[in-house]
Amino acid sequence: MKRSLYWLTNDLRVNDNTALTLASQSDKLLCVYVVDKNWFQAGNYQAKPLGNKRWHFLQDCLTDFNQRLLALGQQLYIVYGDTLSSLTNLCQQYDITDVITTRLPGTYENSLITQLSNRFPQVTVNKVEQFTLFKQDLLPFELEQLPTSYSKFKKAIVDTVISPVIPPTIALPSPFKNMPSPTIFRPQWLPDTPYQETTLGFNFVGGEKSALTHLEHYFSSDLPLNYQEVRNNLDGWDNSSKLSPWLGYGCISARQVITAITDFENTHGKNKSTECLYLEILWREYFQWLHYKVGSKMYQFKGLAQHSPLTSFYPERFNKWCLGRTPYPLVNACMNELRQTGYLSNRGRQIVASCLVNELSVDWRYGAAWFEERLIDYDAAVNWGNWQYIAGVGVDPRGGRHFNIDKQSALYDPDGAYTAKWSAQDNNTNQSYQTLDSVDASDWPVSNNSLTHDSLAGDNDS
């Protein structure tokens, strides 16, 4: 008897879900999502793995997915706690024979699976490859031989097969008996900050339903024909596909997006813009395979290049950057948008990342971790890969990117409309914006003679 536990992670969909199809071939099935306590606690770089905006988005995803499972005779069992012990307990309690999950490049997820396999050697663990477009054994090179730059990767995979999208699962085996009612118990450590709609920026609704609606909306318009010309704009819903948050939680698969691009090209014709969009999805793909290859090096200061940037950690500068209070109005506007909405355009991300590393000389990992907390579309491989790229420790053959902020303002915000929009709500326009480092009285060199009672009294009088 096959008693399966399907551990859901970044695959919250019923369409094109090979893991769910595999799970449907079980006799009994437990569909589990673990909300890990550690996600809400600050980690190494002062940031939490999961901030409020993405937490709200995730809750939408879970609600939507549960509704879809209910329609298939199943339910989503949401567990709150430590992931490894939660999965261990469930494997024991329900005498699980098979664990099914989507293969992800993150080192944390992989170490959990290894620990689980070691605990239960008799249990079959199926890691389904579906977060990427390609399957590893169809790549035209061994993972160790992954090309060292994106352009070489792009050329190498030109004939690699992307397996077709699979039809949705239509029925699932029944859940185990006597299961506690899902989603009722909410521990105290969960944040209960209410969702705040942004009036200035974009509001993303999580879940497969809104993902499919959005995909349909984007590709039934002419927008993809113009993507290349407008993708670098700082503002505007229609200037890029805005698919990233749903791709992040797997509410749609990268294969579904590629299929939508190809179908669009078949009806509207192929042009530079549709090709450019395709190539962006390939960037995402490259970073996933890179992460598989290099593992924890993705998070190291020296990165893949094994080169140390001339940066350090300056708490005041970092705080000013996070809060949008640097001497650079464009950077502040971008950081305000990110803080208030959980989204920032690709150009905005490049500008603020370059500023943190080059103008503020701050260790890039603090910025990457801040993005991890704040972004709705956080993706480990894409985020840390892009940060490494800009910090000059990644796969950029040019060795890092320094964006000239004045030039970027002139090019992408010539009339200052974007900066004005994201500064308008900020009342705190004091001088601390003008300086990078404030000088504390204790930093001044003071001779012993001057520290007399009289001189201090004199200060008080003046």
Ligand X SMILES: Cc1cc2nc3c(=O)[nH]c(=O)nc-3n(C[C@H](O)[C@H](O)[C@H](O)COP(=O)(O)OP(=O)(O)OC[C@H]3O[C@@H](n4cnc5c(N)ncnc54)[C@H](O)[C@@H]3O)c2cc1C
Q: Which stretch binds ligand X (CB under 6 A): 64-72, 244-252, 311-319, 431-439?
A: 244-252
Distance in Å, CB of 84 to ligand X, minimum: 25
Distance in Å, CB of 378 to ligand X, minimum: 4
Which residues, 6+ apart, have CB-to-CB distance to 279 below 8 Å?
154
Reading the block at residue 435, the tokens are 């300086």
Distance in Å, CB of 36 to ligand X, minimum: 18
Residue 375 interacts with ligand X (CB under 6 A): yes or no: yes
Nearer to ligand X, 76 or 390 (CB): 390
Q: How far apart are the first and last CA of the chain?
A: 86
Distance in Å, CB of 35 to ligand X, minimum: 20
Whether residue 412 is annotated as binding a ligand: the answer is no
Residue 28 φ/ψ, nearest 5 degrees:
-130, 150
Residue 178 is given by DSSP the state T
Whether residue 144 is annotated as binding a ligand: the answer is no
Nearer to ligand X, 52 or 67 (CB): 52
* Interaction pattern, residues 431-450, with ligand X; x per rule: CB under 6 A: --------------------
Judged by CB under 6 A, the chain residues 259 through 298 that form the site for ligand X are: 280-281, 283-284, 287
How many Cα atoms sit within 13 Å of 405 on the Cβ side? 21
Whether residue 281 is annotated as binding a ligand: the answer is yes
Residue 203 interacts with ligand X (CB under 6 A): yes or no: no
Rounded-to-integer distance, Cα 201 and Cα 267, Å: 32
Closest CA to 251 of 33, 6, 32, 64: 64
User: Could you count the other beta carbons within 10 Å of the beta carbon of residue 9?
Assistant: 19
Nearer to ligand X, 67 or 233 (CB): 233
Distance in Å, CB of 381 to ligand X, minimum: 8
Rounded-to-integer distance, Cα 153 and Cα 345, Å: 25
Distance in Å, CB of 187 to ligand X, minimum: 27
Reading the block at residue 418, the tokens are 């974007």
Number of residues that bind ligand X (CB under 6 A): 28
Nearer to ligand X, 135 or 242 (CB): 242
Distance in Å, CB of 31 to ligand X, minimum: 25
* Interaction pattern, residues 331-350, with ligand X; x per rule: CB under 6 A: --------------xx--xx
Rg (CA), the chain: 24
Q: Which residues of 293-321 are buried (b: 16+ CB within 10 A; e: fewer)?
A: bbeebbbeeebbbeeebebeebeebbebb
User: Could you count the other beta carbons within 10 Å of the beta carbon of residue 328?
Assistant: 25
One-letter identity of residue 171: A
Residue 66 interacts with ligand X (CB under 6 A): yes or no: no
Nearer to ligand X, 28 or 255 (CB): 255
Query: Per DSSP, what are the bridge partners of residue 80?
Result: 35
Reading the block at residue 439, the tokens are 């000088």
The binder of ligand X chosen from 57, 371, 418, 422 (CB under 6 A): 371
Q: Which stretch binds ligand X (CB under 6 A): 13-21, 65-73, 242-250, 310-318?
A: 242-250
The binder of ligand X chosen from 35, 50, 247, 261 (CB under 6 A): 247
For strands 76-81 and 3-7, give the pairing: unpaired
- Helix (H), strand (E), coil (C) string for 366-398: HHHHHHHHHCCCCCHHHHHHHHHHHHCCCCCCC
Residue 374 interacts with ligand X (CB under 6 A): yes or no: no
Residue 401 interacts with ligand X (CB under 6 A): yes or no: no
Distance in Å, CB of 294 to ligand X, minimum: 16
The binder of ligand X chosen from 64, 109, 208, 379 (CB under 6 A): 379
Q: Which stretch binds ligand X (CB under 6 A): 107-115, 169-177, 319-327, 375-383?
A: 375-383
Residue 353 interacts with ligand X (CB under 6 A): yes or no: yes
Closest CA to 105 of 365, 293, 299: 293
Residue 250 interacts with ligand X (CB under 6 A): yes or no: no
Rounded-to-integer distance, Cα 203 and Cα 46, Å: 26
Residue 55 interacts with ligand X (CB under 6 A): yes or no: no
Distance in Å, CB of 150 to ligand X, minimum: 9
Query: Per DSSP, what are the bridge partners of residue 210?
Result: none
187: left (phi over 0), alpha (psi -120 to 50) or beta: beta
Reading the block at residue 288, the tokens are 């996933």
The binder of ligand X chosen from 10, 83, 97, 240 (CB under 6 A): 240
Rounded-to-integer distance, Cα 109 and Cα 250, Å: 15
Q: Which residues of this protein are in contact with ligand X, per CB under 6 A?
A: 231, 240-244, 247-248, 280-281, 283-284, 287, 345-346, 349-350, 353, 371, 375, 377-379, 382-383, 386-387, 390
Annotated binding-site members for FAD: 227, 240-244, 280-287, 377-379
